[in-house]
Structure 1
Amino acid sequence: MSQINKLKILNDPIYGFISITNPLIYDLIQHPYFQRLRRISQMGLSYLVYPGAHHTRFHHALGCMHIMQRTIEVLRSKGVLISKDEENALCIAILLHDIGHGPFSHAMEHSIVENISHEDISLLFMDSLNETFEGTLTLAIQIFRGQYHRRFMLQLISSQLDMDRMDYLKRDSFYSGVAEGNINSERLIQMFNVAGDQLVIEEKGIYSVEKFIVARRLMYWQAYLHKTSVAAEMILTKILKRAKELTHGGITLTASAPLQFFLENKISKEDFNAAILQQFSYLDDFDIISAIKAWQFNDDFVLSELSKMIINRDLPKIKLQNDKAGREEVTALREKTAKRLGISEREARYFVFEGKIKNQAYNKEGEPIHILRKDRTLMDVVEASDQLNLKALSKPVTKYYLCYPKVLFEEAAV
């Protein structure tokens, strides 16, 4: 019989002590699939903008589990019946909700594999773990899929005010130093309740919800969609695209075995089987950074220059604007880049590119955040709030970006 004490206490800089109260949760945390999250950056390449943002998906997952435990305590104190099995399932579901993230999280979500989201891969990992642990994750998977009859439990995991968002806003704000993103998660948790099988916030917590929505908007503009982060993450996807192009052209690149597998093979949702899932589980940030360090010395000019941009943080110029760049402007920049760097106009597309980013702090068309009024009626937070700016924050704001080499910017300034 094992003598390992599986009821651990972990020290977290955000919440203090986090308790592992269940041997199964301890075993899941110890599994290589979950330990891999120690090597997956929570905020992609945001550390190139905010040097402190080196925290990982491992931190985030444990934080989500902790506030799920606290929320269950609060709901039970208000008469919401949650069984021990349901409690364990909720904690497992939120612990594993991001286990399907690939290297650098969202930055490379559709670069390593195609047409499959990290949520889908998380479910594949959960199904695999459920086999390993002999069906003990079945209820957690049902809740995660939205197949369990108690709707509010899915809302705790995935909604506009869930454990995921509450932890990443507070955690990312802390590590990045973007104070505007900080929220009072403990106050929000104390205001949770359940009415008509829906997760709601009691009326006296409305100002905390308003702060949460505003903080989310500010974190997106200042951190997640910071223009330098956008430029860096786009360059990262361009590097992988070029590496795949060279590999399929018969050129062998220096790369770890799992990265080599995904360079050589085009993998989509339909292709995922147990063997491919295992290969994916071996892949993390270290594979990508190690490859890019080697590729900066590659004979291919495009791959080499793009890799140097990340390694040396010598990123392209990026302009954010309200309107999409004209085709003539983009074509002219590509022609100048091709001439300046001595490459083809097709290759210049790796250095001159455009796109768009969108920020919507609250989606009024989606499942609303319900405020439970004193007369027990429910109201959308936007309607219940006396803050007119919440209506404005529910409208999506789209900005367009245009990236091109700094050398062109410097030439224009001369």
Structure 2
Amino acid sequence: MLREFRLPDLGEGLTESEIVNWHIAVGDTVTLNQVIAEVETAKAVVELPSPYEGVVACLHEQPGTVVEVGSPIVSFEVAAAAGAQPEQAPDAPARREPNLVGYGAVPDSTGRPARRRRAAASAAAEPAPRPAPQPAPVSEAPVSEAPVSERPRSTPPVRKLARDMGIDLAQVRGTGPEGLVVRADVVRAASPAAAPATGTAAESELQPGREERIRISGVRKHTAAAMVASAFTAPHATVFLTVDVTATMDLLARLRAQPDFDGVKLSPLTLAAKAVCLGLRRFPAVNSRWDADAGEIIRYNYVNLGIAAATPRGLTVPNIKEAQKLSLHGLAAAVTALAQTARDGKTAPADLAGGTISISNVGVFGVDAGTPILNPGEAAILALGAVRRQPWEYNGDIALRSMMTLSLSFDHRLVDGEQGAGFLRAVGDVLAEPVLALAMA
């Protein structure tokens, strides 16, 4: 019995995902919950488990294709006992296929949801009906025999190589199976012998690599939309504070030598996370959200602390749930795990949702200060600048001290200047004298 698996709703209202790669091929036998593919949403790369046990009959989509939620992506041949369904009355609604989270897009009049690829076909072309699943993929016409109407088929590493070399894959003839553009095709296209002759000196100056076009998609597309919405919705205000963090740096050095902190990365960010949680006790307005639809301000009695993470796919802000309950060791472990998961592109959608306040550590890039943009739905974001050794007034004299600049952007609808400044001062006090954390805990 043939069973279709449709792209599931991976949460947070995401409507589409890109097939990054398949871990299976036609003819493979898979088990229930075996990872069969990786897909990239607007927020993270997610592994898809198989909802069936059986043999792969057809892969409906190739790597690099953007697929609408609810569209079939793979068909399985399963045993009748495992996949059989009771008979339905002719007028009964069609059963939905299993999904990871939800049931995906509502089917159209044909019974199947619409889907699109990275580059749409000509608007004048009529969409062809989806063929019935076959035991093997249907061969495609060679690239040279038809105009390119969608992004050339290739693997993610080959696409990256083409971008790095300034090669337009639409102009490359694929020599791999069924016209797949492989590495050798890109290298050949980049060689001087493969370049067309030019007629003028001006033309000869326009060589591949001077410009490249990168499609706005995935995490970067989502981040851009969120930042624009935040910047033009919440009235931002930013305050700055330069803090002598010599005592914090000394404390962290001592803690790193303790056996209890083996394997845990300790940094100023760790202590800043603790300071934020403590400061929110005195300034709860900073941990809130503006609900325009309900005409209410929502104050949180918990802290889901977002940590901005720069990844190859763009900026993500996963958050540590109930951060106010964690010890310094617990926060250090949570930040370390969160950052590694984000860099690997494996952050779960649930970890990106529900944040109440965020920290951005711009100091790791050698930056002293900035004006961070609020994560949508949050009242404040704290930016940590680089720690620099510089002359500073200390005990009535000039001494070489470790200095850091803190920047706090906040939603002025929720937080007034006094509250924003008071909260930033409270965070700075803990970083200047970390022993205060014991008195405030």
Q: Which bracket does the TM-score occupy, shorter chain normalised?
A: under 0.3
- Report which of the two has the higher share of helix: 1
TM-score computed with the length of structure 1 as normaliser: 0.20
The structure with the larger Rg is: 2
